[in-house]
Chains A and B, each alone.
Chain A
Amino acid sequence: MANDTAAEPKLGTYICTGCGLGEALDIGALEKIAQAAPKSVTCKTHAFFCSDEGVKVIRDDLAGAGVNHVVIAACSGRVNQEVFAFPKEVVLDRVNLREQVAWSHAAKDADTDALAQDYLRMGLVKNSKSSIPASPVTQEVYETLLVIGAGATGMQAAIEAAKAGHKVVLVEKEAELGGYMRTLHRQLPQRQPYTALMEPDLARKQVEVKAQPNITVMTSAEVVKISGQPGLFTALVKSDGRESTLQVGAVVLATGSSPYDATKLGHLGFGASPNVVSSDTFEAMAKSGKLVRPSDGQPARSVAFVLCAGSRDPDHLPYCSSTCCATSLKQAAYVRQANPREGRAYVFYRDMRTPGHLEYFYKAMQQDEGVFLTKGKVTAVKAAGKNQVAVTAEETLLGGPITVEVDLVVLATGMVPSTLAHDILGLQYRQGPALPDLKYGFPDSHFICFPYETRRTGVFAAGTVRAPMTIADATIDGGGAAMKGIQAIAYARTGEAALPRAMDPTYPVFGLDRCTACKRCTEECPFGTLNEDDKGFPQLNINRCRRCGICMGACPERVINFQNYSIDGMSSQIRAIEIPSESSGKLRILAFMCENDAYPAIDMAGVRRLQYDAQVRVVPVRCLGAINQVWIADSLSGGFDGVMLLGCKYGDNYQCHMIRGSELAVERLGKIQETLNRLGLEAERVQYIEFPISDYQRFPEIVKGFVKAIRKIGPNPFKGF
């Protein structure tokens, strides 16, 4: 692999004896191993390496002895990062002797020592196979943010980015700013005590946007296509028939949603009478000051609201649109304000969902004597005479089916993300022009950790195009997405990865001379990083890359490597582990563990001093998707009795930080297991185990179970070959 460091490697190994390591482990034996490592210039021990004095020992070696490769055998690499922070040219590796050896295994024990020694050997090998990326990819980037959609979300995103000093181009398809807000009569409360409706906050926002010198507004405009990568996007925008090319660093997609098509709600009476209308129609009626029955123009004194009209219905929108409950309560207030003495608003809900502060609004509306709420399933909405509509509901709180006769029925239609109708962005990506969606047209991201992110680095979805939400939430979303956009530009500028591997300066290097253009990497990269050239070879767009290594795991030719995470580096680490002879009765089990959750989990297990079997050797991987099959093959042919893959949940409600990593790992595992079977090896020797971070206390048990299963199968017959 490419070794870009020019200087001759000089290794220093530093073995800490603090935190109980000195008492638990045979430090002398470790020192011998370190000293024997090629290129070793020094090996030192210290009772307290993370002390100022300890760090100074290392820094002195860097300066004095010219050490440029450092291996610290002490605590987990996840802690004390700021303490062991050395200049960028130093290749640093941390060997976890504390959490995963001394704290989780018997002290002064031959098996524990064997474990510690294996980990040190692995660390030394890995370090020797690592290098510093030749030219950190710093570059000139475009600092401008492109915000698509100028509703509550987009305007907020533009304002906040502008305030933070970035230029913004705000693209709006209508002739005016405001989006959904322009259709509103009143807005849900956003201030203490959250009980009073507000005038739509539109005019103030419009003025603020126009007053910002950093914001360029393009109205009646649409994005035709976007190409490039974070920091370096080129967007083609058509505005009033004219096309212009923009150079932007990041994109915020804030194109909102549209109401669900009420004509599909015949079962809830839409079409049965002109007096059955959808939520947005009713809002428009209120805005124009005409709360009347469409049939005869008489005032609508009694109005029934049917909630979840289409939402949470597998035949329509299977999800909760989140705001229709509150919106209906708001509209009930219109009915009551129009007619305080006799106005009646009936609200039939499935569950009254008024999250957050809206609970106060619900409570306030509940107090109104003319607002009648009940849980219930609306089973019939029929015209009653010429101007009335009868609504029948079953399973109500009133005990049985009830009917109310009203002037108007309002169907609380839900939200459909605007991206469902067309892709809007026109991304010139090998994987297609749209944002990959999670479900129902809402864009995919790691929902728990990185809600604004999408699977297109540098493109952030915010507001109701991302998930159903209120204006208040969408406004926060807009601000958040703008900040993420700015961050994406900054990472592009310094050549670092985006979350969750922020600050990682390494990147995949494609050995194109041996590439067969099989396209697996270009297809499987969850982030659409790779384009293909005319011949089908992968082209890296480095700023799109999240450094997950899934491409590396995919590559059958094994030509993709990172500077510190390579096919050869990992194979060498695996080979550095000593396999006990069959006669010793000891097993060796390799555990590939996802660095994002599984590895921290067992650090936690160590901190809590949970003890587990010392026959397991843990190797952290960037993602389970970043495991190349050759490593599994290597370990089995090298005599390992079993291999575990511990990582995040995949599929529905996945928790994989790289979105598809653990899913791909499992897919690929299926193929390996077939191969194993053909070789006469038991497929069960290799297993994927879902291991969320919260399950750290289960680790000893998991290991025990796996060891037991392997014992049942018996030792690896290839041992010793």
Chain B
Amino acid sequence: MPTTVAPDLDFIRSLKQLGGENLKSCYQCATCSVVCPISTDDRPFPRPEMIYAQWGMKEKLVSDPLVWVCHNCRDCSSYCPRGAKPGELLAAVRDYTITHFAWPSSFARLFNSARFLPLLFAIPVVLLLAVLAVEGHLHIPEGQIIYSKLFPIHTLEYIYIPVAFFGFIAGLMGMRRYWTAISAQRAGARPRRGLVEAAILTGKEILSHTQFKKCSVEGKRYYGHLPMLYGFLGAFGTTTLVTIYYYSGRFTPLPLYDPTKILGNVSAVLLLYGCGRLVARRFEKEPEERNNLPSSYFDWLFLGLLTAVAVTGTLTELTRLSGAAGIAYPIYFIHLSLIFMLLGYMPYSKFAHLFYRSAAMVHEKMYAPEAVVVALPGPPVAPPVVVEEVEEVEEEKVAAPAGAAAKAPATSPLGGGSKIGGGAPPSMFGGSKIGGGAPPSSPFGGGSKIGGAPPTSPLGGGSKIGGAPPTSPLGGGSKIGGSPPPPAGGSKIGGTPPPAPGGSKIGGTPPPAARPMFGGVPPKPPAPPVAPPAEESKEE
């Protein structure tokens, strides 16, 4: 039965406003699906999402789990030949999704525009001031700086336990709505794993940040998010422990050698470091051929808030130690207000990603089919590439065991899997020089000709040819050939992976065969599939 499609124009307009302004530029070449680390042979991503967005298919997109599995690594955006910025579009969809599923829905509106920012600040400030007024503490307390002189612990508990609880429950409500929506998309499907097993796997993945590590363009985020996450968990743990201490009769401030204090301080450092890196990344200038990481209000509302919490928290401690009460108490007040915002607004800000991402990852682990990695026919060991037909460049007559391919057997978890790196017989490419075939003297394949991205390649279009990806800072500025890959399927061909972030991530990755992404009958892969899980099939 054909699906009836009725585009939602307002949805398209919203996505454009939220940062997906180039979504209509996509012409469905599928290059993005070739480079995306979470795209697989039978689930190309995010090429289809681009046309869903173009066609204003709101329901389809807000209930698409892959949108939240995407780690916004922006590899796709940097390779997209049309500048459609699929990565940015997906971020826009995520922002939209948070608002769409938020509970209660009416609150969500307050978070989409800076117009409401004063109000968001005012809520905790007024509330806390009111509390101080009621309790008669509307002045800087005398004597040694003890923050509970301002807000007694139990007062804070009366405020913050409900706020955190609200944030958490509201977050869960949104998550539930989302879960229901994605489950509806998969109605009738049998889970491959149980919920618990999937949740455990997801937890492991989050704690180890395996997916983060696969990012190229945003490869540095790993070094920010990981310490930040542990810092946050540590800070959360510290608060919990302090509460337990309180009820067992031990009061703050704790001495610096107390284990809880140590945990608190270490967490603060991690949090500060993590936030610092993430913030710094947002100010970084990108090489000319790709756009800078865009930062929306929505991005800053969360990252800024969290950073501010970390900074004020640290200052709270430092000013206390310095004994400057006139500064310490106001900073503490600000810190408390910010924490209120962070926790209370969690379901409506980007912080909600914690819920949606967890849900999406678990759902995927339960239902997503194992990725199929197809070995291309070919000799098990990469044959030397002898580029002989090429007239103009004599020095290319090098029998080069192409770097990438040669490396593949050693590092690829696939062992005997196919090695396309430089191992593809040159005939496949009509004599064009593919990065992998670059002579060893050229470590980055910088000089290799990519122009030949062969539309006739039996590997299908959308090929990411190794050598120097256009976005690579090491790429010698070479550009993948002018020929936009024909929409016939994508393949990922390992070339020489530039040994630095921002380069291609592939090496010996076996290319998927043509993908069934255009609704037509996909060509059958010529060899029986080897089927390791997708996560493991790609090299870091």
**A residues in contact (CB < 8 Å) with B:** 341-342, 344, 363, 366-370, 372-375, 392-405
Contacts and interface: CB of A to CB of B under 8 A. Distances in A.
Contacts of A374: 51, 55
Contacts of B12: 369
Given A373-B54, A397-B519, A403-B4, A367 B24 contact: yes
A395 B518 contact: yes
A202 to B, nearest CB: 32
A368 B23 CA distance: 10
A599 B48 CA distance: 54
A404 B4 contact: yes
B3 A375 contact: no
Nearest to A390: B4
B7 interface: yes
5 contacts: A367-B25, A369-B24, A375-B487, A392-B2, A394-B2
A404 B2 CA distance: 9
B48 A399 contact: yes
Nearest to B54: A372
Contacts of A370: 7, 9
Nearest to B22: A367
A375 B13 CA distance: 23
Given A366-B25, A372-B54, A395-B518, A400 B9 contact: no
Interface string B43-79: 0000010011011110000000000000000000000
Contacts of A395: 518-520
A375 B519 CA distance: 10
Given A395-B520, A402-B2, A344 B28 contact: no
- Which of A366, A368, A395 has most chain B Cβ within 10 Å? A366
A402 B9 CA distance: 18
A277 B396 CA distance: 59
A394 B24 contact: no
B55 A369 contact: no
B27 interface: yes
Interface string B173-199: 000000000000000000000000000
A369 B25 contact: no
A404 B24 CA distance: 19
Contacts of A368: 24
Interface centre among B52, B55, B517 (most CB of A within 10 A): B55
Contacts of B520: 395
A713 to B, nearest CB: 35
Contact of A398 (B25, B27, B55, B487): B55
A372 B2 CA distance: 17
Interface in B13-40: 13, 16, 24-25, 27-28
Contacts of A396: 519
Contact of B51 (A369, A397, A400): A397
Contacts of B52: 398
A373 B3 CA distance: 16
Given A398-B52, A399-B48, A400-B3, A375 B518 contact: yes
Contact of A403 (B3, B7, B27): B3
Contacts of B16: 369
List 9 tightest A-B contacts by C-beta distance, closest first.
Answer: A401-B2, A369-B12, A403-B2, A395-B519, A367-B24, A403-B4, A402-B5, A397-B51, A392-B2
B24 A366 contact: yes
Contact of A372 (B7, B517, B519): B7
**In terms of DSSP, what is the predominant structure of the interface of chain B?**
loop
Contacts of A404: 4-6
Interface residues of B, number: 27
Contacts of A366: 24-25, 27
Given A393-B2, A396-B519, 16 more contacts: A344-B7, A366-B27, A367-B24, A367-B25, A373-B54, A375-B487, A395-B519, A397-B519, A398-B3, A398-B57, A400-B2, A400-B519, A402-B4, A404-B5, A404-B6, A405-B6
A399 B519 contact: yes
Most chain B CB within 10 A, of A366, A393, A398, A401, is at: A398
B3 A401 contact: yes
Contacts of B48: 397-399
B4 A405 contact: yes
A403 B55 CA distance: 13
Nearest to B3: A402
B33 to A, nearest CB: 12
B6 to A, nearest CB: 7
A588 B4 CA distance: 75
A344 B5 CA distance: 12
A401 B519 CA distance: 8
A107 B208 CA distance: 77
A11 B519 CA distance: 76
A403 B4 CA distance: 5
Contact of B9 (A344, A367, A373, A399): A344
Nearest to A374: B51
A398 B50 CA distance: 9
Contacts of B24: 366-369
Contacts of B517: 399
A401 B51 CA distance: 14
A404 to B, nearest CB: 6
Contacts of A344: 7, 9
Of the listed residues B1, B7, B16, B56, the one surrounded by the most CB atoms of chain A closer than 10 A to its CB is B7
A398 B9 CA distance: 17
A394 B7 CA distance: 18
Contacts of B57: 398
A399 B49 CA distance: 10
Contacts of B51: 374, 397-398
A553 B99 CA distance: 82
A393 B3 CA distance: 10
A189 B7 CA distance: 28
Nearest to B44: A399
B3 A397 contact: no
A156 B52 CA distance: 45
Contacts of B2: 392-394, 400-403
Contacts of A398: 3, 5, 48, 51-52, 55, 57, 519
B9 A342 contact: yes
A250 B517 CA distance: 55
Nearest to B11: A369
A306 to B, nearest CB: 15
Contacts of A394: 2, 519
Contacts of B6: 404-405
Nearest to B26: A366
A589 B128 CA distance: 107
A484 B389 CA distance: 43
Nearest to B50: A397
A368 B3 CA distance: 23
Nearest to B48: A399
A372 B55 contact: yes
Contacts of A375: 28, 487, 518
Interface in B505-537: 517-520
A394 B12 CA distance: 24
Nearest to A373: B54
A394 B3 CA distance: 10
A399 B519 CA distance: 5
Contacts of B28: 375, 397
A564 to B, nearest CB: 40
A243 to B, nearest CB: 56
A414 B438 CA distance: 48
A393 B55 CA distance: 14
A344 B9 CA distance: 9
Contact of B25 (A341, A363, A393): A363
A368 B25 CA distance: 10
Residue of B3, B25, B487 with most chain A CB atoms under a 10 A cut-off:
B3
Contacts of B9: 341-342, 344, 369-370
Nearest to B2: A401
Contacts of A372: 7, 54-56
Contacts of B487: 375, 397
A368 B12 CA distance: 10
A344 B12 CA distance: 13
